[in-house]
Amino acid sequence: MIKKLDHIGIAVKNLQETSRFYEEVLGLKVVGTEVVSDQKVRVAFIPLGDTRIELLEATQPDGPVAKFIEKRGEGIHHIAVAVENIETEIEQLNEKRIRLIDACPRKGAHKLRIAFVHPKSSHGVLLELSEPQKI
Ligand code: CMX
């Protein structure tokens, strides 16, 4: 079950410079950054109501965000939806023959377990399923 929009991921060339835009121009607050080595990104979090914006800066030239920027430039990279149970969601999408990038959940930023749906299967949008880690 999809519960809500968890975050919107935006690919940026420079996290510091972009953070200034969100803080100084839009008056939002960047509350923290985190390196997700699995995904080759550095992420900055910007809470916005019940959801948040995540700014994504590549940490390695062969990572997904670096490749995205090289091909398309900066911009919206993915949207993430919070799900109740990520394994169930993956199973159901598999049954519906939806192309998944991740067969099993991986470790994402913000203590999330994540899995991506391929944009070719979701009408051009890279879709992230996310479930908070159970502690
Ligand atoms: N949104 C929409 N479409 C996208 C896309 C994106 N973010 N990234 C790639 N595509 C499109 C490409 O434009 C291409 O379309 P065409 O064939 O029509 O040109 C197609 O998808 C395949 O793209 P590609 O360049 O051949 O493939 P890539 O090697 O760039 O891989 C993808 C694309 C989505 C499979 C890869 O980026 C991936 O595995 N992503 C999941 C992981 C990820 O994005 N991590 C970063 C965020 C991590 C986090 O939030 O913590």
Ligand 1 pocket member 65 (CB < 6 A): yes
pTM above 0.75, yes or no: yes
**With contact defined as beta carbons under 8 Å apart, do 65 and 11 qualify?**
yes
Q: Residue whose CA is closest, atom 15 of ligand 1?
A: 120
| Mean pLDDT for the chain overall | 96
* Ligand 1 atom at minimal distance to the Cα of residue 54: 50
For the segment 87-120, what is each residue's pLDDT rounded down to a tens digit? Answer: 999 999 999 999 999 999 999 988 899 999 999 9
Q: Residue whose CA is closest, atom 31 of ligand 1?
A: 64
Mutate-to-test residue for ligand 1 from 78, 107, 114, 133, highest number of ligand atoms within 8 A of CB? 78
Q: Residue whose CA is closest, atom 8 of ligand 1?
A: 68
Distance CA 120, CA 135 (A): 34
pLDDT average, residue stretch 19-26: 98
> What is residue 135's predicted lDDT score, i.e. its pLDDT?
60
- Sheet of 32-36: strands edge to edge? 32-36, 41-48, 51-58, 2-12, 75-83, 127-132, 112-117, 106-107
